[in-house]
Amino acid sequence: MKNLNGVAGLAALSLMLSTSAAFAQTEVTWWHAMGGELGTKLEEIAANFNASQSDYVVTPVYKGTYAETLTSAIAAFRANEQPAIVQVFEVGTGTMMAAKGAVYPVYQLMADQGEPWDPSGFLAPVTGYYSDPEGNILSLPFNSSTPILYYNKSVFEKAGLDPEVAPKTWADVEAFSKQIVESGAATCGFTTGWVTWIQTENLSAIHDQPFGTKENGFAGFDTEFTFNGEVQARHWNNLKAWSDAGLFKYGGPEGGADAGPLFYTQECAMVMNSSASRAGVINNAKDFEVGFAPLPYYDDVIAEPKNSIIGGATLWVLNGKSTEEYAGAAKFFTYLSQPEVQAAWHQFTGYLPITNAAYELGQSQDYYAQNPGSDVAINQITRGTPTANSKGVRFGNFTQVRNVVDEEFQALLSGSKTAQEALDSAVSRGNQLLRDFEASNAQ
C-alpha cells in the first residue's frame, strides 16, 4: 500500500477524519404518531436540530396512530428494542406512569444531563397534567391542544345573527341553533368531535365537576369514575333532545370523523373540536369565514367557567438506552423548548405553545393580531387557577373507557337508554376497566 503524502494524502486523511466524525454521531430514535403535514413538520424539526450540532442525530420513525405507537413501544420495551423517545397521547399518561422501570422522567433526565430546565416556563395547565403528585414533570409537552367552538359567520348572518357574536352559554347555543334551522340558513345548528373528550371530560372540567375520585386519578390508583353526576346527565339529556329536534347532529365516535365535513359543507353552522383542527378548518372552509370562540357553559351552574383541559401528546424517554443517547435526548428537548421552535410549531399546527416564551414571541410577532381567534384556545386553557376537577383526567385503560362512553352515548341517541342510565352504565363499565388495569399493574 502506498504511503499517504502530499496534497492527495492530506485530502484522503481529511476524508477519513470526517467520515470517522460522522460515525461518531449518536443516533437518538424517536417514535411518533404524526402522519401527513404534521409528520412532515415534525421531521423538519428533527432535521433542523440535527443540522444545529454534530454530536447527535435524531431519527423520527412514524409508528401509526397514537394507540398503535403506544402499543408498539410497550412491546418493544419488553423485547429490549425500545426507542429512546416515544410520543404518547394524553390518555396514555396513566399507563406510562404505571409502567414501573420503563420510564426515565424528563425532569430527572434534564438534571442528570445538566440541561436547563425551568418548569415555570411552561404553560401550567399543560405541565400539571404530566406531573407526579410532587409536581415533577414526567414527560416533555410537545403537541398540546384543547377544544374550542368554530362557527360559520356567513350562516349566522343569513340567519339574522350577528356574525361577530358567538354563543357564550348552552342556552345561547340552543337559541342560535333554533334561529339558524328555522330561518333555513343551515339544516343543523351544531355538531361536535369527541363526545368523550369535549362533551364529557371538558364539560366536567369547565363546570368544576369531578370526573372521578382521587383528583380525577391524579392522586393514585384505587379510583372510581363519577362523571354520571347531575350536570353531565343534564347535558347528555339536552344533546339527545337537541338531536331529536334537528338542532344537533352526531359527528360519530372517537374523534367524530363526520363532524368536520358537516361543518365544511355548511350543513351545521357550528362545530366543537380541537384547537389543533384550526388549520384544517380554515383550509376546508372555502366558501365562508370562520369564527372562533371558547366552549359554551351553563351559566346557572357556574358563573365563571374553569379552564378547559388538554389533548395531544408528550414525549417520554424510555429506560435501557446508553448514556450518549440520553445526552442527545436532553439536548434535543432543550432545542424543542426554544421559543422560536415552539412558536413555529404552534403557529403552523394550531397546537398550543407549550411555553410562555413561545406565546410571548407570537404576540411580539403580531401573529395573534393578524390571525383572529388564534389565541382563543390559549386564553381558555389558562383562565383562572386549575382545580382538582379542571387540571385533567388521568386513568389507566382510558382509551378503552372512551370507547365505552361512545357506546353509551350512541345507546342514548338510539333511545334505548336515558341519559342517566347511559352514564351510569358507562361509569360501571369504566370502573371495571380500572380494576382490570390495577390488577395487571399490581406490584
In the prediction, which pLDDT does 299 show?
A: 98
Whether residue 113 contacts residue 335, with contact meaning beta carbons closer than 8 Å, is answered with: no
Q: Residues 266-285: what's their mean pLDDT?
A: 92
> How many CB atoms sit inside 10 A of residue 287's CB?
9
List, for residues 133-184, the tens digit of each pLDDT value. 788 899 999 999 999 999 999 999 999 999 999 999 999 999 999 999 999 9
CA 283 vs CA 278, 279, 289: distances in Å: 9, 6, 11
Confidence at residue 38, expressed as pLDDT on a 0 to 100 scale: 87
Q: Give the gyration radius of the chain's Cα atoms.
A: 24
Element (H, E) at 419: helix 419-440
* Domains 2-145+311-364 and 147-308+390-440 equal at CATH topology level: yes
Residue 19, pLDDT > 70, answer no
- Cβ-contact 336, 42 below 8 angstroms: no
CA angle (152, 153, 156) in 5-degree steps: 90
d(CA 182, CA 180): 6
pLDDT recorded at residue 124 = 78
User: Rounded CA gap, 362 and 346, in Å?
Assistant: 9
Residue 160 is predicted with a pLDDT of: 98
Contacts of residue 8, defined as CB under 8 A and 6 or more positions apart, other chains included, come to none
The C-alpha atoms of residue 365 and residue 242 are separated, in whole angstroms, by: 42
- Confidence band (pLDDT; 50, 70, 90) for 21? very low
Strands, E assignment, 33-110: 56-62, 85-89
Strands, E assignment, 295-432 = 311-317
Do the Cβ atoms of 131 and 248 come closer than 8 Å? no
Cα 95 from Cα 440, distance rounded (Å): 11
pLDDT of 65: 87
Does residue 6 register a pLDDT over 80?
Answer: no
Q: Which residue has the cell 385533567?
A: 392
Question: How does residue 443 score in pLDDT terms, banded at 50, 70 and 90?
Answer: low
CA distance 377 to 315: 21
Task: Please report, as a single letter, which amino acid is at residue 148.
Answer: I
Looking at residue 384, its pLDDT comes to: 87
CATH class of this structure's domain 147-308+390-440: alpha beta
Q: According to the model, what pLDDT value does residue 99 have?
A: 80
Question: What are the domain boundaries of the chain?
Answer: 2-145+311-364, 147-308+390-440
- Note the pLDDT tens digit of each residue in 122-146: 887 787 788 877 888 999 999 999 9
Confidence band of 8 (pLDDT split at 50, 70, 90):
low
In the numeric block, the cell 391524579 is attached to 218
d(CA 351, CA 311): 9
What CATH code would you report for 2-145+311-364? 3.40.190.10
Cβ atoms of 83 and 73 within 8 Å: the answer is: yes
Give strand pairing partners of 273. 148
Mean pLDDT, residues 242-258? 95
